[in-house]
Every structure is written in structure tokens, then in C-alpha cells.
Amino acid sequence: MTPHPLLDQPAPAEDPFALRWTHAFDIRLAFAERMTIGPVVAGGPSQAYTPVGQGSTVSGPLLNGRVIDFSGADWPSVRSDGVVELAAHYLLEADDGTPIYIRNLGYVHGPQADQGVPAYFRCTPYFRAPAGAHDWLNRKVLVGIGQRRPKLTADDPPDHSLFRYYVIL
């Protein structure tokens, strides 16, 4: 286990229960073709499949690199109340070549009137990183805020989502 100078600091004595966090990194996640499988059981949630596409990036103060092209997918369930339960698995590659597995679970719901995209998009990623510079990911809680960026016009960039991740200190 490699200590990280920014992340392995003791809680302040005045309030050890105060939530402390810092921006860790952002992921710009491109998608390939989305598919809806439909309900597995009558009246149950619809299942979908959204594979990771090409050209996804990782950038931020604590991690930089890329998402390995076509390394995984999101397997969301769309519940009858309109809430989407995310269940994504894919691989990151840090700038130093370290492979990092991510499993990202979360909820998406509530349309944003001006864009027609979900207003609530939150996730909790879990990581598997080998011993070394990035193994802090194996022992820290991170939370993410996402935003869909659909391709609405010919001039828009391809369909993608943006995620900003915060590490809880």
C-alpha cells in the first residue's frame, strides 16, 4: 500500500465527523450503439446495454489517462418509476500504463427541462488497481456526478457522458 500525501491525512480534531472531499478526476465517456433488451419478466425493469466506445479520457488532479476502447459496458435497468440503475464495468489506463478496473453503480432520473437529459445522475465507483501509485483507489470512497451529453445536432460532438469524481477524505 502506497501512502498518498494528499489523501492520507488524519481527520481534523475539532470535528472528526465532518465530511471532507476533494476533486479526484473527470471521465469523458464515449459510447458505441445503445441497445434496449426489454423486460426480462413481465412488468419488471427493462434491461439495456451501452458499450464503451472509442476516445474516452480521464483527466484531473489525482488521475490522468484514458478509458480503454471497448473495454466494457453499462448494463442499466430501467425501473417502472423511470429511475435508471447504472451497473457499468470497464477498464482505465493511467498515463503511466497502469490498468485500473472500475465498477460504477448509480442512479439516473428526472429530466432537465432545457436539455431533455436527466437532472439527477450520481454514482459510486469501485476500483481494482495494482500496488503502486494508484492503489489509493482500492481503499478510498469516491462519489461521482454525471451529465449526459447527447448528440442533438450535426455540429454536436458524438454522444457521451461526463463524470466528475470526488474522493471522500
Q: Which of 134, 98, 121 is nearest to 25 (CA)?
A: 134
pLDDT band at 5 (very low <50, low <70, confident <90, very high): low
pTM metric for this prediction: 0.86
Q: Who wins on pLDDT, 75 or 157?
A: 75
Tell me which DSSP letter residue 95 carries. T
Domains of the chain: residue spans and CATH: 21-168 (2.40.160.20)
pLDDT for the residue numbered 81: 86
pLDDT top residue among 12 and 29: 29
Mean pLDDT within 49-71: 95
- Which of 130, 120, 119 lies closest to 93 in space, CA to CA? 130
What dihedral do alpha carbons 63, 120, 105, 4 form, nearest 10°? 30
Mean pLDDT score across all residues of the chain? 88
- The residue behind cell 458499450 is 51
Backbone torsion region of residue 110, taken as left when φ is above 0, otherwise alpha when ψ lies between -120 and 50, otherwise beta: left
Rg of the Cα atoms in the chain? 17
Is residue 49 scored above 60 in pLDDT? yes
Average pLDDT over residues 4-20: 75
Is the per-residue pLDDT at 158 higher than 90?
A: no
Over residues 78-114, the pLDDT tens digits come to: 888 889 999 999 999 999 999 999 999 999 987 755 5
Do residues 104 and 125 touch, judged by C-beta distance below 8 A?
Answer: yes
CB 96 within 8 A of CB 58: no
User: Long-range CB contacts (< 8 A, 24+ apart) of 45-49?
Assistant: 45/77, 45/78, 45/79, 45/80, 45/85, 46/77, 46/78, 47/75, 47/76, 47/77, 47/78, 48/74, 48/75, 48/76, 48/77, 48/78, 49/73, 49/74, 49/75
Q: CA dihedral in degrees (127, 130, 134, 139; nearest 10)?
A: 50
Q: Is the pLDDT of residue 68 over 90?
A: yes
The cell for 115 is: 436539455
Residue 3: what pLDDT? Answer: 67
